[in-house]
Amino acid sequence: MNAKKLLLLFMAAALSVVVGCSPQSQSVTTETKPIDWKSMYPAQYYSSLGSADHLDDVETVPKTGGYGHGSQSKYMPISIEQKNGEINATCISCKSSKFNELYEKYGNEVFNATPSAKYAEIMTAEDWWSCGTCHSDMTDPAGSVGAQIVTAELFGKELFDKLDPKTAACSQCHNNLSPWSDSRIVNGSDILNSGKSPYRYGWDPDALIKATLEDAVPDASRYPNGKTMELSAAAHAKVDESTGTYLIANGNHADAEMFQGSLHEQLGVSCTDCHMPTLEDRSGEPYTSHDASKSVLNSEASMNYCLSCHSSQGLETVKDMYNYVRNAQAELAEKDAAVADKLDETYGYIEAAVKGGTVSNEVLDKARFNYAVAAYYKEYVYGNRGATPGEKVAHNPKMSHKYLERAIALLDETIEMLR
């Protein structure tokens, strides 16, 4: 071993005490692939794969192996192979720091949602959910946490500039930007060239609906069979043929947006505080769990963290905390189910009005729009992407209930219009 390599090893040892990611061995590299750091941070590395092959996750999305971080890092490359070696670059625009290299090389075209083998060539299995996705400096992982992928800055600067770095890291994917960044309603490169921000009116549901309807076009690459409605020259999304009702494109998991203004956010709680608790390895050394897809309800450490505040409500044990969250989830799920039932009921009224031909176009368009907005509210709260109704209530209990209640009120209004 030469002197230079010995010096590097010595430097690694000196850097071994890092808050949040305490290394368990002594090696150093300048690369940011997980495989290059698993010997220094084995607990973090292997815990990041903890969600791989969870049955409920894999069964939800069998083609790509699930939505969990571990499952995606394991199965997404297989998904690419099944698509003749091609990949839609927007698919990795929030999942790997490798996307930054693609953007630097190809520019805004990477947001066109056009699959290409040239995008897949730069990716390996180790690049999915790589260290560089959330850390800019692996010699100081705890001090360099944040949104490292360029997509967040390009499409969501207004929101990401105000986020805590630990929340920003998770929000790179867990946001409602995909209608724009994923070319679902408008070509992503076109929106970047226009200089318009998806968050120009804010990030609450009504603000996002307004921006969506302004920007959507009938030939967006993800929804080529969309229909332009008379209600708005630009309104575009999936259209139900029986009623003419369109569902306003939703980004599937508005976690970052929903979290804003919540009590947890106001108290300085971040995503990682609950979803990536501090654990101990067999030798008693602390490390930050990187199994971020794991439910906090399955983590004693997470429940204990929650108790550090919720004990003031009379909760004393992990079981108490667990039951408290489960009850809150069940309460929201019940309201979600009520909205679902009301959507079905309203759909029947709209369908009958279309077939009967006795309702004016003005009233019918208003009914369709109310239905679409109510459905959007439900989806915004639901969180989708592998979630179950009510599961994400802790992100913002007050707003979650508010928007489901508004959805029911809109649907009640619509039914009265059509009776």
pLDDT digits (tens, 9 = 90+) for 118-146: 888 877 766 777 888 899 988 888 899 99
Instruction: Find the mean pLDDT for residues 299-312.
Output: 96
Q: Where are the beta strands (DSSP E) in 27-96?
A: none
- What is the reported pLDDT for 232? 38
The dihedral region occupied by 176, where left means phi > 0, alpha psi between -120 and 50, and beta the remainder, is alpha
User: Which range is least confidently modeled, 30-44, 106-120, 174-188, 265-279?
Assistant: 30-44
pLDDT one-digit tens code per residue, 47-66: 887 777 666 555 555 555 55
Inform me whether the pLDDT recorded for 294 exceeds 50: yes
- What is the reported pLDDT for 230? 38
Provide CB contacts within 8 A for 85, sequence distance 6+. Answer: 117, 120
- Tell me the whole-structure pTM to 2 decimals: 0.85
Name beta bridge partners: 280: 286
How many other C-beta atoms can be found within 10 angstroms of the C-beta atom of residue 19? 11
Residue 3: what residue type?
A
∠ at Cα 365 (360, 370), nearest 5°? 130
Average pLDDT, the chain: 82
What are the extents of the domains in the chain?
Answer: 224-418
Instruction: Find the mean pLDDT for residues 187-212.
Output: 92
pLDDT one-digit tens code per residue, 344-390: 999 999 999 999 988 999 999 999 999 999 989 998 998 865 568 89
- What is the reported pLDDT for 50? 76
Inform me whether the pLDDT recorded for 339 exceeds 50: yes
pLDDT one-digit tens code per residue, 67-117: 677 777 777 666 666 667 788 888 788 888 889 999 999 999 999 878 888
Cβ(147)–Cβ(168) below 8 Å:
yes
DSSP 278: E
Instruction: Find the mean pLDDT for residues 170-187.
Output: 88
Phi and psi, residue 286, nearest 5°: -75, 145
- What is the reported pLDDT for 11? 31
